[in-house]
Amino acid sequence: MPNIDIPQLDPLAILKGQSALVTGGSSGIGKGVAIEFGKAGANVAVNYSHKADEAEEIVKEIESFGVKAIAVKADVSKEEDVVAMFKEVISTFGTVDILVNNAGMQKDSPFHEMSLEYWNKVIGVNLTGQFLCAREAVKEFLRRGVKKEVSVAAGKIIHMSSVHEVVPWAGHANYAASKGGIHMLMQTIAQELAPQKIRVNAIGPGAIKTPINRVAWETEEAYNDLMKLIPYNRIGLPEDIARTAVFLASDYSDYINGSTIFVDGGMTLYPGFRTGG
């Protein structure tokens, strides 16, 4: 059996020398991930689709950690935007080592009233966008190969999924379908590309305190209702997701491939069954 080298890492700079692209990085979970990556020593490209000023503020914060950062505009559902985005990031940083496929959206509706526009928009950003970005990242990983002084992997992809890749969600058929699709997309890519030392995993957030779900936590009544779904009895924060993303992007997680890590305070434990079933 060949010798297996276990990397020795500096826990305070475990992504040092690597470059990451975080899609949807200008707010919410993406913002948290982008900032945490900068703290961990990575250069970071912050993707946004609008509100350039917010993205530039995040860039400034990341640069304060002594690393490089740029803001790059792209609609991830559009192939030409994604190709141009990767070209800009690679031109700036020299390569991309980590992709966080985070950009996502909701357009909710009762199923029988859901328009094709709502369906296509959510699937386009949440699922097709992740396909397009992953494809361009893989092209770069294969071109460059492994550089052991940077990472034992040729590249890392982290798909941002949801507890709703396994938990049905009435009134959100397009969103839940997109997350279920992400699960199989992630596992299929992981299976196909593992021999090339490309690691592909996912994070499944539960209820996270971000602007997209403000209605679920901004009042005491709403928050108390939400806690019925979370055994750990607190809402998640972007930092909870970001720290998991740093781990998955680092060589600490080198033997994890094709997995979704649920960061949800126990939401996927189906807490309604605590008192019966």
What is the maximal distance between C-alpha atoms in the chain? Answer: 59
DSSP 125: I
User: Residue 76 and residue 254: Cα distance in Å, rounded?
Assistant: 28
Torsion sign, CA atoms 150, 155, 160, 165: negative
Question: Cα torsion at 105, 109, 110, 115 (round to 10°)?
Answer: -100
Could you tell me the two tokens for 273?
């069954």
Nearest CA among 165, 198, 170 for reference residue 184: 165
Q: How many CA atoms lie within 13 A of 184 on its CB side?
A: 7
**Cβ proximity of 159 and 184 under 8 Å:** no
Active-site annotation holder among 175, 223, 232, 255: 175
Active-site residue, 252 included: no
DSSP 170: T
* Cα→Cα distances 80→136, 176, 210, Å: 11, 26, 29
Nearest CA among 81, 84, 103 for reference residue 92: 84
* Cα→Cα distances 205→1, 118, 234, 268, Å: 38, 22, 13, 10
Neighbours of 218 (CB within 10 A): 11
**What positions carry a catalytic annotation?**
175
